[in-house]
Amino acid sequence: MTEETPGFDEQQPQGQPQQPDVPSGSDDAEPKAAPQEGAAPAGDAAATAQVAGLTAQLDQVRTALGERTTDLQRLQAEYQNYRRRVERDRITVKEVAIANLLTELLPVLDDIGRAREHSELVGGFKSVAESLETVAAKMGLQQFGKEGEPFDPTIHEALMHSYAPDVTETTCVAILQPGYRIGERTIRPARVAVAEPQPGAAQPAKADSAETAEGASGADDKESGGPDEG
């Protein structure tokens, strides 16, 4: 009798390898899941939305920057105008203060002028007077008014009036008080005596011109042979 090998129903033929055991259910295993095709477009849409958001924020920042720049330029212009206005007011106040001071000194300068005309400006008084005139000149005080200049009502004040045959227009013939100015601002007009041409001085000149015209017309008649005789 032949003995059967325990655990084997049938003996494999010699020279053939044994087939490995295949676990049950291996044929029913599902394949690996393929990558989804819609994932990439979804990522692009998110990036596009993020860029759009950043662009909107950048536009807002640019708008705010433009507004702040405009405000800064306006403030700078207002500040420059304020500085110019303050400087102009400061100069005006300074000129007014100097004019008020020199106006109070005008009677003293008039006394000095009269003393000089009468040769009384001597000694220490002369030195003090010249120093005062020098300081006034440094502060911008200018004296004006001369005999023989045409009368100008904007800078002259006529206190005396007369007629003179040797003038052709209203003329300042005497300076009673000199005028003073600071720059273009007159702080006291010159007080003068004026003379006008005599009323009848112009008549002879007109008569002479008329006679000259008649003589010229008579000469023309003689050159043309005179009037025709009938």
Position 74 pLDDT exceeds 80: yes
Of 168, 174, 105, residue with least CA distance to 135: 105
Query: Which whole number is the average pLDDT over 94-108?
Result: 92
Cα separation, 226 vs 230, whole angstroms: 12
Looking up tokens 């007629």 gives 163
β partners of residue 160: 193
In angstroms, rounded to a whole number, what is the distance separating the alpha carbons of residues 189 and 152?
10
Task: Say if CB 145 and CB 172 are below 8 A apart.
Answer: yes
Question: Given this model, what pLDDT does residue 5 score?
Answer: 47
Residues 1-44 have pLDDT tens digits of: 444 544 444 445 454 555 555 445 444 445 454 455 545 466 78
E strands in the chain: 141-144, 156-164, 171-177, 179-182, 185-188, 190-197
Question: For position 111, what pLDDT does the model report?
Answer: 93
Taking residues 170-197, what's their average pLDDT? 93
- Per-residue pLDDT of 191-220, as tens digits, reads 999 999 988 755 444 444 445 445 555 544
Q: Is pLDDT larger for residue 216 or for residue 122?
A: 122
Higher pLDDT, 1 or 53: 53
Cα 195–chain centre separation? 47
Task: Identify the DSSP state of 30.
Answer: P
Read off φ and ψ for residue 86, nearest 5 degrees: -65, -40
Residue 223 has pLDDT above 50, yes or no: no
pLDDT value of residue 48: 86
Question: What share of the chain has pLDDT > 90, as a percent?
Answer: 49
pLDDT at 18: 53
